[in-house]
Amino acid sequence: MITLYGIPNCDTVKKARTWLTEHGVEHVFHDFKKQGVPEAALDHWLAAVGWETVLNRKGTSWRQLDETTRAAVTDAAAARAVMLAQPSTIKRPVVLWANAVTVGFKAEDWEARI
């Protein structure tokens, strides 16, 4: 089963969920706001794609962090701590496929997966 992680009001997450549904791909949605960020899953994503990919440094949530916190994110451990404390700093959606982890939504890339 495919698991899509994100926040329900995120436009990219909405597009991704719609795309999966329209293509008949069964999936489960994990809401960071209601269910939190599963630490073991976050560790898996960091190992699979790297903290630089998972951490969204372009979003509003990142920009709202104080300068000291942003400056301290120099490695996976620091990024992990910020993402656990502020789930909205995770780039969305994160998708756990049968044999891969992807971050973000690109329909062309997802076509090849299904």
What are the residue numbers of the active site? 10
Length of the chain: 114
- For the beta sheet containing 101-103, the strands, ordered from the edge strand earlier in sequence to the opposite edge, are 27-31, 2-6, 94-96, 101-103
Look at strands 27-31 and 2-6 and give their pairing: parallel
Going by the DSSP 8-state scheme, the letter that residue 104 receives in this structure is: S
Which secondary structure element, helix H or strand E, spans residue 71, and what is its range? helix 67-72
Say which residue the tokens 């698991």 belong to: 3
Determine the Cα–Cα distance for residues 10 and 112; give it in Å rounded to an integer.
24
